Chain A
Amino acid sequence: MHPTSDKFIPFITPETRHFWEGTKLGELRIQKCDSCGHKYFPPRPFCPKCSSKDISLVLCSGEAKLYSYVISHLPAPGFKPPFSIAVVELLEGPRLMSNVIGCPQTPSSLLLDMPLAVVYEKLSDEIILPLFKPTEKIV
């Protein structure tokens, strides 16, 4: 693994491999239970609602909305504060943590529920990170 970023580099585990293989291909993958229909994240090889092992991958649209966030002023490797640490809600339902980029990192530009779309950032040969940017022009 050859990091191209100073950011924290995840270690891929067997249960999460499909997710990270997906982002390398520009795909945001979550999982769906074929027994009860529950769509979920983070990855695991059984449904966290009904424990069924009858699951499949779902390719997400990449559309999301901003559920909540902070604007961190703390030093973090690979980041230049201030920067947003956000929880986004995917169109498909599950939430995940990310950064909202491509807009000023200010409360007036980061509006809750605003529409977002996934973009990808390479951290290493193995790890491509899903980030989000606003899909409407921010005033």
Chain B
Amino acid sequence: MKNQKLVVIGAAETTSLGDIPHLSQVQLHADGALNALADAGLKISDVDGIATAGENPITIAQYLGIHPEWIDGTSVGGCSFMMHIRHSLSAITSGLCKTILITHGESGKSRIPPPEWPWPPRPGSYEGQFEAPFGTMGPPDLLTIPFLRYMEDYNITVEDLAMVPVIQREWAALNPKAWFKEPITVQDVLDSKMIAYPFTLFMCCPRTDGGGALVITTEERAKDLPGKEVYVLGAGESGETMLISQMQDFTTSRAFKTSANRAFLEAGIEREDVDHLMLYDAFAHLPIYGLEDLGFCERGEAPNFIRDRNTAPGGRLPVNTNGGGLSYMHSGMYGMYAMQESIRQVRKVAAAQVPDVKISVAHGIGGMFSASGTVIFSNQPN
């Protein structure tokens, strides 16, 4: 891996984001894919590897007209696309294929067609036997369960939690493509509809339509292409449990820590080398876990770090600069959008561009703290 550098040579989202009632989910994949290939300066016939989640990769390959020699259908939730990058690294460096297309598309709002996930689970699965009978309906009442334990152990208030969407909305206000752009206050967050105590509506992501795609190849091949190459310095992945009740410690994610540590190890960089950070935020507590489990804050310190505006516009570690899943968009599997913003930042074309970004980290969650993927991007080969 070290002698053959991998780059993202094409990156794009769907032509529009948010409310797309005229496109089906598979067409969202295709729209993002064709935009990413145009960005790279490549044609469908140049692609010999396909990776996707949420749809069968063969469905996408056939729809686009790709005859793949390498296929990755890893589908473990919203961080799957981070894992696809990591798997692409090993595939390309070992000669299994040359140019990989990673696609995402999700009709999260318009539901064309309606998704099978998340409810009901299969009645004979662990989730069906040991969660669903207790009234669990999906991420808003499952992924949120650990946070009261965190609040109790670290003496954190609901006002602290409400600061996460407040500050991310400040970033969203700088991004014309964000779904929500109006400023909000802590009181607005606390006064919004209760979803699953302690989580109110503004602490939960919207469901929108969209997609995006990435084109991965070698540095050598990218030299002749018009796309602006972004180096993948390292990546990590891990998993813990499909049952939130079996998460080892409700105040920290083992999957987050393993995935991030592996990515930093592979990249050979330190936390202080990171200029920009994307932390998958389907719900307001996830950036808190992310900051701590990735090693940017001590345990229990992330709420103070956020309140002190370190992650806000002008702060020393800008986080979720597109507005995050809470304000920018969230189709259901947000990982692709987190990476797209990291890539825009290192290419210096983001709406809320952070000055002097060299290294950006995109960190994702899959399922209910089930899985995790981390990718470290840079505009320099390191």
Contact = CB atoms under 8 A, between A and B. Distances in A.
A126 B198 CA distance: 34
Contacts of A72: 135, 137, 141, 195-196
A109 B137 CA distance: 23
A85 B141 CA distance: 8
Contacts of B147: 68
Interface in B319-354: none
Nearest to A107: B197
A7 to B, nearest CB: 5
Given A10-B123, A11-B124, A68-B145, A99 B134 contact: yes
Interface in A5-24: 7-13, 16
Nearest to B248: A95
B174 interface: no
A3 B195 CA distance: 28
Contacts of B129: 10-13, 16, 42
Contacts of B137: 72, 74-76
Given A85-B145, A97-B130, A8 B123 contact: yes
Contact of B144 (A10, A70, A86): A70
B196 A68 contact: no
Interface stretch (B12-20, B183-191, B219-227, B239-247): B239-247
Contacts of B124: 10-13
Nearest to A111: B152
Which of A82, A96, A123 has most chain B Cβ within 10 Å? A96
Contact of A70 (B133, B196, B243): B196
B140 interface: yes
B148 interface: yes
B146 interface: yes
A69 interface: yes
A73 B196 contact: yes
A127 interface: yes
A98 B135 CA distance: 9
A133 to B, nearest CB: 14
Contact of A96 (B120, B130, B146, B148): B130
Contacts of B135: 7, 72, 76, 78-79, 83, 85, 99
B316 interface: no
Contacts of B266: none
A24 to B, nearest CB: 14
A120 interface: no
Contact of A8 (B133, B152, B193): B133
Interface in B143-200: 144-149, 152, 193-199
B295 interface: no
Contacts of A76: 135-137
A71 B147 CA distance: 12
B250 interface: yes
A129 interface: yes
Contacts of B142: 85
A9 B199 contact: no
A42 B246 contact: yes
Contact of B245 (A71, A73, A82, A96): A96
A67 interface: yes
Nearest to B152: A112
B195 to A, nearest CB: 6
Contacts of A78: 135
In order of increasing CB-CB distance, the 5 nearest A-B pairs are A11-B123, A11-B124, A71-B197, A68-B149, A10-B129
15 contacts: A8-B133, A10-B123, A11-B128, A13-B124, A13-B129, A42-B246, A68-B250, A71-B194, A73-B197, A85-B141, A85-B145, A87-B250, A96-B245, A97-B130, A97-B243
